[in-house]
Amino acid sequence: MEKAYLALAAALAVGLPAIATAWAQSRIGAAGAGTIAEKPELTGTVIIMLAIPETMVILGFVVAVIILAM
Amino acid sequence: MIARMVKVEIVGPGGRILEVLSLLRELGVFQIEHDSTAFIPAQDQDKVRSHILDEKTLAERIFYEELKARIDELFGCLPQLETRESYLDPGSVLESVTQTVQKHSATCREWSRKRETLQQELAELSRYRDFLRALEPHLEGLLLESGLEFIGVTIKEPDALEELMRVISRLTQNRYQILTAKGADDTLIALITLEKGVAQKVRAVLGEQHVPELTSPAALAAVPFSEKSAFLRQRVEQATAELVSIETEQAAFARRWGAIYGRVRSWLEVRLALLRNVAYLHQTGMCFFIHGWTPEQDLARLEQEAYRLFGGQVVVVKKQILEQDLDQVPVTLRNPPFFRPFELFARLLPLPRYASIDPTPFIAIGFPLFFGMILGDIGYGSILLAVALCLARRARSDTVRDAARILLVCSIYAIVFGIIYGEMFGELGTRLLGLKDGHLVERRHAIVPMLYFALSIGVAHVTLGLLLGVVTALKRKTGREALFKLVNIAVILGLAVLFLSLMEEVPRFLAMPLTITLLLLIPALFFSGGVLAPLELMKNVGNIISYARIMAIGLASVLLASVANDFAGMTGNIITGVLLALLFHVINLVLGVFSPAIHALRLHYVEFYSKFVVPGGKKFEPLKK
């Protein structure tokens, strides 16, 4: 039973930040596409903005690995 | 790296100003500073004034601008054709060109007007031809005698036809005939035949119902309906011939005069560029002053050329760059050939300031390394290597060639890490080629060690970024910022060793002194970074954890490759299996190029650059041809 709880915790640790990242990226991506259409010189900045929320899911993944390694 | 620039003042007699500007343009190594307040000492400000064009030069500039505008207008009316090169001296033919350009412009404008009218008419005739072509097979047996009216309409919604017939039927007491056919764009074309008396009423109803009537082109208006088709063909042939004749005349004219006008226009552009730059210069009663910037390595050439052409009359003076000038100094990147393609990444972001550090050499080393660590597969790496070699050989644009070179380096790193991980198309290499015994790390199972490895890379990379930040801060003479970054480095390294000590990877007794040291560093942290210092420190720690993506994305890539191989085995049919495996591997390869590239780039842009790059540098834009 404990294993099942650990697996659930790991899944939540990755899944919830993944949903949050996806939502944030969808908003930033749409705005970024508009920005690049008007000012192509801001491509680099848009890539940075788009990649920032990914940290959430990466941290979630690290937490999940730690949970499963327990 | 950022090329060292020199602040330069060029001084010479007023009469030679255009010759000097011409030399600077020829050399292409000098940028005129538009805001040259910092160049003129305060005590001399009242003696030096902005250069004002004399009446003759001003008249010359206006004349050149008008002539260029006329030639531009002429070229606007002509087709873009390859013309021979003209070797005429533009200065000697300027007067003749001024006289002929107006006459030629009028002729070309007339050709353009006629051409446009003919093209419009042909488009209209073509639309009407489609209408007639669609209905032609049905016209046999239709009463085309005079006394009847013909109305052509296009119906976009098929359902509207029924309603239309009902209304026409009511208006004409059923005395009408309608023929329908499908048009070229799948709309319904209809020809309504009715008595002339009710035609007006029907037209009014069509207008109310927004059914567009296909009006006959002006050339066919007076032609009876039965003869329209033949007349249309005749008119199309005639208009096409006229159009061809005009285009031939235009092409002949462009070939005959294009080269001469083109040469004069280029000459005018050069003269106008020089005259426009005169506005940014300064003068005293006798001399002119040009203030600007040149790369240090080009200064000697500039001095030699100035001496060779003007003797001692024109002097190039090197001035000291003061602290307040630093934000004004333009930036140009000059890197060794191996690093140069990676300037592509630097160009995606604003340029770093002059007293900052060019991140190109660091991204040139770090980017392929991270890419290789994430992808790490001999098979995928070899395919990318082949693609990169093909691209590098066939690329025509510099950007594509740079991208190919970057891909080439990245693919080599991917192969090297593939050997370390023992991966070739996932675990296929381990199975088929016996790589199992040769590899150093098996990524699929060594998840936690790979995580530690990725975090170690993060500590090293972020610490390097902070060290470079210290250098930048010292260069910009912001001592407190340098101290803050040093304290951050100490805290990060302290935390890392403390973590290892708690994990018993290093002796446990180090934990207590390290904790005390970290506590002692807290006041220094607040002193150097202010109240937001802990937040900045947490950001740095977060940045290090972000490097876990090297392990995470790499793991995802290798697991996808395994899925591809497993799917192939599950089909039970060798051909289907191979095809499925190929499909999955292609998808994984595409992901394997984009994902590591984006993440390696992000690790540099967000985690690394933010520590030392000060954006906002002005691009070095020298006067050039």
Q: What is the mean pLDDT of residues B229-233?
A: 83
Q: What is the pLDDT of residue B563?
A: 77
B545 contacts on A by Cβ (under 8 Å): 55, 58-59, 62
Give residue B231's pLDDT. 84
**What pLDDT is recorded for position B352?**
87
Per-residue pLDDT tens for B601-623?
Answer: 889 988 898 888 888 888 888 88
Between CA B387 and CA B393 the distance in angstroms is: 10
Chain B residues whose CB is inside 8 A of the A69 CB are: 447-448
Summarize the confidence of residues B501-521 as an average pLDDT.
83
Q: What is the DSSP string of B271-325?
A: HHHHHHHHTT-EE-SSEEEEEEEEEHHHHHHHHHHHHHHHTTSSEEEEEPPPGGG
In this complex, the residue of A43, A51, A58 whose CB is nearest that of residue B606 is: A51
Q: Which domain holds residue A14?
A: 2-69
Confidence at B435, pLDDT banded by 50, 70, 90: low
Residue B45: pLDDT above 80?
A: no
Would the pLDDT of B317 be above 80? yes
Tell me which chain B residue has its CA closest to the CA of residue A43: B348
More confident position, A40 or B405: B405
CA closest to A69 among chain B residues = B448
B448 to chain A, any CB pair closer than 8 A? The answer is yes
Is B605–A51 a contact, with Cβ atoms under 8 angstroms apart? yes
User: So what's the pLDDT on residue B144?
Assistant: 55
ipTM: 0.74
Q: Is the pLDDT confidence value at A26 over 90? A: yes
Using a CB–CB cutoff of 8 Å, tell me whether B538 touches chain A.
no
Rounded (10°) CA dihedral B477, B480, B481, B483: 110
Once rounded to an integer, what is the mean pLDDT over residues B126-132?
79
Cα distance between residue B192 and residue B178, in whole Å: 5
User: From the CB of residue B190, how many other CB atoms can be counted at a distance below 10 Å?
Assistant: 23
One-letter amino acid of B4: R
**Structure confidence at residue B147 (pLDDT):** 66
CB–CB of B546 and A43 under 8 A? no
- The shortest CB-CB distance from A51 to any of B349, B548, B602 is to B602
Is the separation of the CB atoms in A60 and A19 below 8 Å?
Answer: no
Average pLDDT along chain B: 83
Q: Quick: pLDDT tens for B297-306.
A: 888 888 888 8
Residue A61 and residue B552: Cβ atoms within 8 Å? Answer: yes
Could you please report the per-residue DSSP string of B165-192? HHHHHHHHTT-EEEEEEE-TTS-EEEEE
Binary contact (A51, B548; C-beta < 8 A)? no
| Nearest-angstrom CA–CA distance, B118 and B218 | 12
The values of phi and psi at residue B528, to 5°, are -85, -30
pLDDT value of position A39? 87
pLDDT at A16: 95
CATH of B118-239, one of 3.30.499.10, 3.30.70.2750, 3.10.450.50, 1.10.3720.10: 3.30.70.2750
- Outline where A1-70 has alpha helix (H): 2-38, 43-51, 54-69
The pLDDT tens digits for B137-150 are 666 655 555 567 77
Using an 8 Å CB-CB cutoff, list chain A residues near B606.
48, 51-52
| CATH class of the domain at B5-51+280-328 | alpha beta
**Is B466 within 8 Å of B451 (Cβ atoms)?**
no
E strand or H helix that includes residue B150 = strand B148-155
Average pLDDT estimate for B373-377 = 88
- For helices B533-546 and A54-69, what crossing angle results, to 10°? 70
pLDDT, mean of residues B89-102: 81
Q: Which residues of A touch B359 (CB under 8 A)?
A: none
Interface contact flag, B448 A47, Cβ < 8 Å: no
Our CA-based measurement puts residue B606 at a distance from the nearest CA of chain A, in whole angstroms, of 6
Check if B451 contacts A (Cβ < 8 Å).
yes
pLDDT digits (tens, 9 = 90+) for B7-39: 888 888 877 877 888 888 888 888 888 777 777
**Model confidence band, residue B124 (pLDDT cutoffs 50, 70, 90):** confident
pLDDT band at B510 (very low <50, low <70, confident <90, very high): confident
pLDDT surpassing 80 at residue B219: no
Cβ contact (<8 Å) for A48 and B549?
no
Q: Judge: A61–B348 Cβ closer than 8 Å, yes or no.
A: no
Give the count of domains, chain A.
1
pLDDT at B409: 93
The CATH code of the domain that includes A17 is 1.20.20.10
Give the pLDDT score at B275.
79
Interface mutation target, options B343, B348, B351, B363, chain A, most CBs of A under 10 Å: B348
CA distances (Å), B241 to each of B50, B115, B221, B246, B594, in order? 60, 11, 22, 9, 54
Overall average pLDDT of the B280-287 stretch: 78
C-alpha–C-alpha distance, residues B470 and B472, integer Å: 5
Please give, rounded to a whole number of angstroms, the shortest distance from the CA of A13 to a CA of chain B: 14
**C-beta atoms of B605 and A65 within 8 A:** no
- How far is B585 from B574, CA to CA, in rounded Å? 16
Percent of the residues in chain B that have a pLDDT greater than 90, as a whole number: 12
- B564 or B493: which carries more pLDDT confidence? B493
Q: Where are the alpha helices (DSSP H) in B476-510?
A: 479-502
User: Above 60 in pLDDT, residue B438?
Assistant: no
CA distance B293 to B295: 7
Q: Which amino acid is at B278?
A: V
Q: What is the CA radius of gyration of chain B?
A: 38
In chain B, CATH 3.30.70.2750 sits at: 118-239
Tell if the CB–CB gap between A58 and B348 is shorter than 8 Å: no
Q: Do A47 and B598 touch (CB under 8 A)?
A: yes
Q: Give the residue on A whose Cα is nearest the Cα of B454.
A: A62
- Is some CB atom of chain A closer than 8 A to the CB atom of B606? yes
Nearest to A47 among B350, B552, B605 (CB): B605
In angstroms, the separation between the Cα of residue A31 and the nearest Cα of chain B is 18
Highest-confidence range of A28-32, A48-52, B162-166, B229-233, by mean pLDDT? A28-32
Nearest by CB to residue B349, choosing from A45, A65, A69, is: A45
